[in-house]
């Protein structure tokens, strides 16, 4: 229904706003490029070039990095 669509869109907009705020706080160098927040899908290498990620790795490497950071898992 239209009401359900509005509800879902409102939740999506709120989550997107929280995500954008978090990225702008943690990665100020990426905050100036509005295309970082317009919903487009990026490859890992594109995200790396934009400063949105620290490195590109496969799952095993990511687990090793997280383990080295003391992240429980």
Q: What is the DSSP string of 22-36?
A: HHHHH-GGGTT-GGG
The yes-or-no verdict on residue 28 having pLDDT over 60 is yes
The whole-number average pLDDT for the span 6-34 is 91
Strands (E), the chain: none
Taking residues 47-52, what's their average pLDDT? Answer: 92
Name the percent of the chain lying above pLDDT 90: 55
């Amino acid at each position: 229904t239209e009401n359900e669509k509005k509800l879902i869109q409102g939740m999506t907009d709120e989550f997107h706003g929280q995500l954008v705020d978090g990225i702008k706080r943690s990665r100020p160098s990426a905050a100036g490029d509005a295309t970082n927040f317009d919903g487009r899908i990026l490859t890992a290498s594109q995200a790396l070039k934009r400063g949105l990620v620290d490195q590109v790795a496969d799952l095993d490497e990511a687990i090793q990095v997280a383990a080295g950071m003391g992240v429980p898992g």
